[in-house]
Amino acid sequence: MKTIKRSLAGLLAVVFFSFEGTAQFGQDNALKFGGNLYIDHRVRTENGEWSWNENRLDLSLEKNFNNKAALYGNIWLRSFGFPTLTNSDQLFNKEEISPYDIDIREAYIDLYGFLLKDLDLRIGRQRIAWGTGDRINPTDNLNPDDLEDIWDFGRHLGSDAIKLDYYFSGLRLEAVYLPFFKPAVLPRGDWAEALEPPLDLPPAIQLRKISDSLVTPGYKIGESSSYGARIGGFLAGYDLSMSYVYGRDDLPLQFYNQVLLVEAPATIDIKSRLYFPRQHVFGADMSGAIGSIGVWGEVGVFLPEKSTVMKTDLSALGFPDIDSVVLKKEAYARYVVGGDYTFADGSYLNLQFFHGFVTERGRGNLNDYFMLSWEKDFFNRKLKINPLAGAFIVADWEDIPGNHAWVYNPSISYYPNINTEINLGYRAIGGEGDNMFALVKKKDEVFLSFRFDF
């Protein structure tokens, strides 16, 4: 065993030292270290309750080996959230008083001209960002969503993957293999409740507790792995690409409910089981300009591998089981179209429409979102205002007053120096109906964030 390890170490040494040599111009082979400090505090205007406390040290390092290979790593060290102290024993535990976490976002190695001159290999934990939409990318399905902060939608976790990029005839062909499945991180607090499916119980029934268990894929090639490919190029003034992914939905889907009678006559517990269904995703995207307006479009067509039928076991109450289809084996499309424009005075307008938020699944369950943002900077970019920022969500076109939501999110940013940004803003949410955003209405908050790059 030791011999194998020694041989491996020797091989790695040969590989890396063979890259060392006389650096060409523009190549910086030194180990680079950088990152940023990000502090984000939010408070609810309704009751003065702190809703967010994040202190993040985002550290990156990279090393280039004469443009033949490169190493990259990115790690978050965070003091995050609030302690939930209920008894004095917890005061002996520093982690309980000051919650923290470490997140290895990316850690990979690139090998350029791997085997073939025009072939690059990236191996390790990496972010594979596909799509042209602005933070809403229906084709971006290889990395799981990181919905921890719902306002930072579009954020994804890194995935352990092998990626090959082949360049030919002005085209780029990407092939990706992910050996392990990783689910999405779900949002915290009120947003988590908004994501729960509505539960309609007869008036006489009282629910005491809901619990669930996850059925996760085993760590076997056939069960846990995903793969995808994408080809893109430039045609008739537009960047175009097509993609395909075979993987699992990163959000769990309920497929079994067991109703347990815990106290006669009608107090019940519900035990649920959830799984991560397999799916095919066919994608296409474009970006370019029409006249002087920047435009983009992106569509992901999702085809679940099988229908998911949720079985509700009511035998404890003496009723027959109920089966209901929660996700049909039928294709549904999430798509985005958008445009942006910079006016002569330097102000910037961004408009985007999308059908289907990252948490929405299945034909008929996708809402329509209209997003707008207009910003302008002053004093040589020392100050930026974003007074018009928000979204309008239509959940039911036949009953807009009864099922809609809106978000208004103005902010002002101050840049005391080139590496520092202080951002103050407000988020107001309103609406009606059972759509996710309407369910968290009246949770308005003020936020103050600080970022320093180094």
Provide the binding-site residues for another protein, judged by CB under 8 A. 25-28, 34, 36, 64, 67, 70, 110, 112, 120, 127, 129, 132, 165, 167, 172, 234, 239, 287-289, 291-295, 340-342, 344, 346, 380-381, 417-419, 421, 453-454
Measured from the CB atom, the residue of 283 and 433 that comes closer to another protein is 283
Half-sphere exposure of 77 (CA within 13 A, CB side): 6
Q: What is the dihedral of CA 192, 193, 195, 200, to 10 degrees?
A: 160
Measured from the CB atom, the residue of 27 and 307 that comes closer to another protein is 27
Selection from 134, 174, 178 nearest residue 157 by Cα: 178
CB of residue 402 to another protein, shortest distance in Å = 37
Q: CB of 354 within 8 A of CB of 133?
A: yes
CB of residue 83 to another protein, shortest distance in Å = 31
Q: CB of 321 within 8 A of CB of 311?
A: yes
Identify residue 73 by its one-letter amino acid code: G
Measured from the CB atom, the residue of 96 and 340 that comes closer to another protein is 340
Measured from the CB atom, the residue of 106 and 396 that comes closer to another protein is 106
CB of residue 105 to another protein, shortest distance in Å = 11
Q: What is the dihedral of CA 38, 373, 297, 136, to 10 degrees?
A: 40
Residue the block writes with tokens 């067509």 = 301
CB of residue 429 to another protein, shortest distance in Å = 26
In DSSP terms, which residues pair with 283 in a beta bridge?
243, 300
Measured from the CB atom, the residue of 25 and 92 that comes closer to another protein is 25
CB of residue 64 to another protein, shortest distance in Å = 7
Q: Cα separation of 268 and 262, whole Å?
A: 5
Measured from the CB atom, the residue of 105 and 248 that comes closer to another protein is 105
CB of residue 353 to another protein, shortest distance in Å = 18
Measured from the CB atom, the residue of 28 and 196 that comes closer to another protein is 28
CB of residue 222 to another protein, shortest distance in Å = 30
Selection from 253, 283, 277, 258 nearest residue 269 by Cα: 258
CB of residue 380 to another protein, shortest distance in Å = 5
Selection from 337, 340, 331 nearest residue 368 by Cα: 337
For residue 243, count CB atoms less than 10 angstroms from its CB and return exposed for 0-12, middle for 13-18, buried for 19 or more: buried
For residue 179, give every residue at least 6 positions away whose Cβ sits within 8 Å of its Cβ, in sequence order, or none. Answer: 160, 161, 162, 221, 224, 225
Measured from the CB atom, the residue of 291 and 401 that comes closer to another protein is 291
**Residues comprising the chain, all counted:** 454
In DSSP terms, which residues pair with 44 in a beta bridge?
445
The three-state secondary structure class of 10 is helix
The tokens of 181 are what?
């499945």
The three-state secondary structure class of 69 is strand
Measured from the CB atom, the residue of 109 and 310 that comes closer to another protein is 109
CB of residue 404 to another protein, shortest distance in Å = 30
Q: Cα separation of 441 and 411, whole Å?
A: 19
Measured from the CB atom, the residue of 50 and 167 that comes closer to another protein is 167
CB of residue 288 to another protein, shortest distance in Å = 6
Task: Sort strands 322-327 and 308-313 into parallel, antiparallel or unpaired.
Answer: antiparallel
